[in-house]
Amino acid sequence: MEFEYGEIYPFDEEGVNYSGTSWYELVGLDTAKQKLEQFVKAILQQSFFEDTRLPFRPSILLQGPPGTGKTALTLAFGQKEKFPIIILLTTKIIRAKLGQSGENLSNAFAYVKDYAIQRKKPLILFIDEFDSFARQRDDVQEIGEIKRLVNSLLTELDVLIAQHKNIILIAATNHANTIDRAAFRRFAIQIDFTIPAPELRHHIWSEFHRRIQLRIPECKWDLDTLVERTEGYTAADIERIVLSAAIEYIHQDLDTINTELLLQQLRYVTPTSKHMGKEELSDLLDLDSIDLRKIKGITDGFKTQASRL
């Protein structure tokens, strides 16, 4: 479905074509999944908070490095619950022309609110790269246009949260430390996503190994070595390693995908942690999170990927 300022996934309609990872295929995100389910269940019980006069904002901030499952979790949840999702994209809203970004943002929110009224059921508004919309206003390096955009965003969020209880706001950021504090306060809860620890990396590699064996039953991997050599890698990073190896397997008409072939791909895949500052990295090297993207068929799927290279 076309949307000038982003994308729409009408999961409440029949026959929606969605090829992403399903809720039940997400691996390593048990804590995040549980928190999201609990929070949305509470959102659907608005009368409790109205009767008790407890302030409740149907808004969640997902924060962590790229490739740890923030977007995949949101899309998979919308598909599972049959909630339509509208995604606002930075590239389609922020413009260099003075005042244009704020106007685009207002138009996008107006569309979301009209869409929600027409559907009369829960809807997820997903704002990716939220830090691009809500940078700290006291940053001396930021121009006035960005500050005006933040002010417009805060106004839109306040109206959305106060008047449209059937809209669930989920925002994602890779740089939570750059978000304006006033924007932070618009979120009821925050869910943290981290770079996987060795135990979780072992689980991720095991899952990819299992899926590859569906097409190459004889392939064997040294999982301990793979775990050791991929410290600092996210599930998305590991997926790229497997994808790169699979493309070479197809292109070279090899007999198998083995540990050596996988390790050779490390030269082409830089771990997410390499792009992070020391302080930011120390906060994220923990036990939580990860999204495993689904590999549907080694030959067909990777041939499609290879054709795009």
Name the token pair of 147.
């500050």
What share of the chain in percent tops pLDDT 90?
A: 50
pTM beyond 0.85, yes or no: no
- Strand order from edge to edge, sheet including 59-63: 6-9, 85-88, 123-127, 167-173, 59-63, 189-192
**Residue type for position 128:** D
> How high does pLDDT run on average in the chain?
84
Predicted local confidence at residue 288, as pLDDT: 40
The region, left, alpha or beta by phi > 0 then psi within -120 to 50, assigned to residue 73 is alpha
Q: Are 20 and 80 in contact (CB under 8 A)?
A: no
Extract long-range pairs of 277-282: CB within 8 Å, 24+ residues apart. 280/177, 281/195, 281/232
Distance CA 227, CA 199 (A): 8
Rounded to whole angstroms, how far apart are CA atoms 7 and 125?
Answer: 10
Q: What pLDDT sits at residue 277?
A: 52
| Residue-wise DSSP of 277-289 | -HHHHHHHBSS--
DSSP, collapsed to helix, strand or coil, labels residue 19 as coil
From first to last of the 309 residues of the chain, give the pLDDT tens digit.
678 999 999 998 887 777 788 898 887 788 899 999 999 888 888 788 888 888 788 999 999 988 888 999 999 999 999 999 999 998 898 876 767 888 999 999 999 999 998 887 889 999 999 998 888 877 555 556 778 888 899 999 999 988 888 899 999 999 888 899 999 999 999 999 988 889 889 988 998 999 999 999 999 999 999 999 999 998 889 989 999 999 999 999 999 999 999 999 999 998 987 765 544 444 444 434 334 343 344 434 444 444 444
Strand partners, 135: 179
* Burial grade of 252 (CB within 10 A; 0-12, 13-18, 19 or more): exposed
Name residues whose C-beta falls within 8 Å of residue 72's C-beta, 6 or more positions apart in sequence.
20, 21, 26, 291, 293
